[in-house]
Amino acid sequence: VDYRETSLEGFDGVLIPGGFSFGDYLRSGAMASVAPVIDEVKRLASEGKPVLGVCNGFQILTEIGLLPGALLHNDSHLFISRNETLKIVNNQTPFTNLYENNDLVVYPVAHGEGHYYCTDDIYEELVTNNQIILTYQDNPNGSYKDIAGIVNKEGNVCGMMPHPERALETILGTDSGVKLF
């Protein structure tokens, strides 16, 4: 779908992929957040349809207010590209329901602004509402409380920095992402 699209009528869900939208000028996801298609993404989310944002997609979902928090520069100020071990901490979502809680998965990460940040109050809400779905086992970017992925309160909007779509074949290093799709 082109960013200029103004209708997503007939869509059953949305995947916002990674990829440095609009060159990540200003900050990650900032320019994408005002693209015409965003109103339709918000509409689908409000209707309870699944919306998944991976990497830059997660950054966009926080920019448009569908998910709380923000993504900041990695603590190292370096671009990180490697496989990371993650723990499934909530399998009661449409995105994680084929996993068991505490399953360890390996997904690639590739980002320079992947440090998830939120206030202590928002963190408490995330915990209370069971919105944290993935945590890093060896936090690569300084994410608050090792958070790698979250969902909204309703559970239909999900954002994560790791790339499950790049974890579908063992020949590529891992197939841990298959169950997410």
The pLDDT value given to residue 72? 96
pLDDT of residue 86: 99
Catalytic annotation present for 163: yes
pLDDT at 13 over 80: yes
pLDDT classification of 19: cutoffs 50, 70, 90: confident
| Burial of 150 from C-beta contacts in 10 A (0-12 / 13-18 / 19+) | buried
For domain 14-180, give the CATH superfamily.
Answer: Class I glutamine amidotransferase (GATase) domain (3.40.50.880)
Is the per-residue pLDDT at 7 higher than 70? yes
- Among candidate residues 111, 113, 115, 163, the one labeled active-site is 163
22 has a pLDDT exceeding 80: no
pLDDT digits (tens, 9 = 90+) for 85-133: 999 999 999 999 999 999 999 999 999 999 999 999 999 999 999 999 9
Here the tokens at position 16 are: 């916002």
Which residue is associated with the tokens 């954002």?
159
pLDDT digits (tens, 9 = 90+) for 129-176: 999 999 999 999 999 999 999 999 999 999 999 999 999 999 989 999
Extract the tokens encoding 15.
Answer: 């995947």
55 is catalytic: yes
Structure tokens at 5: 């699209």
Rounded CA-CA distance 144/127 in Å is 13
Active-site residue identified among 5, 73, 165, 169: 165
What the block records as the tokens of 101 is 């809680």
pTM, 2 dp? 0.94
Name residue, tokens 């349809």.
49
Tens digit of each residue's pLDDT (9 = 90 or more) over 38-91: 999 999 999 999 999 999 999 999 999 999 999 999 999 999 999 999 999 999
Q: Work out the pLDDT band at 25, boundaries 50, 70, 90.
A: low
55, 111, 113, 158: which is the annotated catalytic residue?
A: 55
Q: Whole-angstrom Cα distance, residue 14 to residue 36?
A: 15
- Whether 165 sits among the annotated catalytic residues: the reply is yes
Which pLDDT value is given to residue 29? 74
Domains of the chain, residue spans: 14-180
| Three-state DSSP class for residue 178 | helix
